[in-house]
Amino acid sequence: MTQAAIIDGKEFAATLRSRIAGHAASFEAKAGRKAGLAVVLVGEDPASQVYVASKAKQTVECGMASFEHKLPADTAQADLIALIDRLNADPMVDGILVQLPLPGHLDEQAVVERISPDKDVDGLTPISTGRLALGLPGLVPCTPLGSLMLLKDRLGSLSGLNAVVIGRSILVGKPMAQLLLGENCTVTIAHSRTADLPAVVRRADIVIAAVGRPEMVKGDWIKPGATVIDVGINRLPPEEGKTKGRLVGDVDYAEALQVAAAVTPVPGGVGPMTIAVLLRNALVAAHRNAGVALGDETL
């Protein structure tokens, strides 16, 4: 068998951002304002700071307005909730993202639930989750939606395919399963207590790995010709003489290349899609909030 094709998420994300920029310009012309995304960062976690800066940069590059709110780590719950209430009421803000995790003294669930479902670009509020489960229009978590875009670009119709989602988080596993069901896949959600996990994975035409365990999914777990989407991102311990370890996914990439038909790399696969889909969600929300037809709901 020939080596698997590499699914280039970086290239796909760049194409998606280009389409977003075109729609953002059209929205501004029709609505008389830019679509607006507000990002809230509490504390000074270095990784979160880098991620928020990247989101803000790409938001502006796509012709949208970026509103950054950086709060000290000791911010009180009431003050954070008050900020979200102001953003919910602000007609210039179409999307609200609270960077997680929050400092330990804050109630993450209460904070997320305070976000208006119409501005919930992370797709994490109970109403957004319910809309997805019912098949109603709504905002969908970014990483699963980005993964679905990569799958459909690669395979076309997913109808009738067997899909295994490894991981049951509310961020990836559960919404990913709902999206695949919406595409008429037969879906299995596997997890840490699944009996004979390799055998379950081996039945899948589509494998979504989202467990946070470095290179857990081995080549002999994968059905020959399957398509593998690796959502995991893990840093291995540094090798001798190096300060940083390699970034790897939840799939043994080298082994998967010898068995699968197509695989996402780590980095460069699903990761670049997450911010691109965040911008897509903000733009979709802007059109809905302003009562402006998008013209391409498949954006």
Catalytic sites, residue numbers: 55, 99, 122
Nearest C-alpha neighbor of 81 from the set 48, 109, 53, 100: 109
Does residue 92 contact residue 36 with C-beta atoms inside 8 Å? yes
Does residue 73 contact residue 103 with C-beta atoms inside 8 Å? yes
Residue 263 host element (H or E): strand 262-263
Peptide bond between residue 272 and the one before it cis (omega within 30 degrees of 0): no
Buried b (16+ CB within 10 A) or exposed e, 100-131: eebeeebeeeebbbbbbbbbbbbbbbebbbeb
CA-CA distance, 168 to 165, in Å (whole number)? 8
Report CA Rg, the chain.
19
CA-CA distance, 174 to 166, in Å (whole number)? 10
**Tokens coding 36:** 């607006």
Cβ neighbours for 47, distance < 8 A, ≥ 6 positions apart: none
